[in-house]
Amino acid sequence: MERPYRVVVAKPGLDGHDRGAKVIARALRDAGFEVVYTGLHQTPEQIVHAVVQEDADAVGLSMLSGAHLTLVPRVIDALAEQGRPDVLVVVGGIIPEADIPTLEGLGVAHVFTPGVPLPAIGAWLAEALDRREEALGV
Ligand code: B12
């Protein structure tokens, strides 16, 4: 990893499934990322506010409620509206296989479903953020 990237791990929506988000926040922190966890029950606007305030490189949305096709596009739109379309967006959780191409079409860089080893998630993110940094010419 070129530098310790900052990642906002967020729980959009009204459900209380926060175990996955906490596991990921911890795993990314242990892998050398700077992690900000938003806590439960965040609106897309609150999440994007955190991303802007923290000047984050990436946002990871943990979705187990089934509302991903409603909430993920709202986060992506709000990032563009707030002048941060460069932020890498990843989604994790209970996402039906059939919805993954739709999310990727909206601009989600990767979808992580249960069973992916935690070190592989950190490694993927580090590589993707190194590539993003190169592309941005930072
Ligand atoms: C534990 C659990 C609960 C717990 C939650 C405890 C908690 N604090 O999290 C309790 C008992 C509270 C609960 C309640 C309910 N639940 Co529940 N729950 C589960 C269950 C069994 C396991 C989820 C879990 O914690 N897994 C362990 C964690 C570590 O895994 P994970 O979250 O999937 O995260 C991994 C990956 O997905 C990924 N990941 C996740 N997030 C992120 C984020 C990023 C950035 C990245 C990179 C990766 C990533 O990496 C993680 C590590 O591998 C699932 C079924 C299942 N097999 O997944 C149902 C499930 C999610 N629940 C479900 C439902 C319906 C409910 C209830 C509505 C049931 C009811 N009628 O009351 C309520 C809702 C209550 C509420 N207020 O939200 C459904 C959702 C259906 C849907 N999506 O269409 C599921 C899928 C069960 C089912 N098959 O029907 N639940």
pTM over 0.95: yes
Mean pLDDT by 10 residues, the chain (138 residues): 96 98 98 98 98 98 98 98 98 98 98 97 98 91
In this prediction, residue 138 carries a pLDDT of 73
With a 6 Å cutoff on the Cβ, whether 112 touches ligand 1 is yes
Comparing CA positions, the residue from 7, 84, 78 lying closest to residue 52 is 84
User: Dihedral of CA 3/121/66/89: which sign?
Assistant: positive
Distance between CA atoms of 123 and 27, rounded to whole angstroms? 11
Report the atom number in ligand 1 closest to the C-alpha of 115. 53
With a 6 Å cutoff on the Cβ, whether 24 touches ligand 1 is yes
The one-character DSSP state at 59 is: E
Please check whether residue 25 is in contact with residue 13, taking contact to mean a CB–CB distance below 8 angstroms: no
pLDDT tens for residues 1-33?
989 999 999 999 999 999 999 999 999 999 999
Nearest CA to ligand 1 atom 17: 17
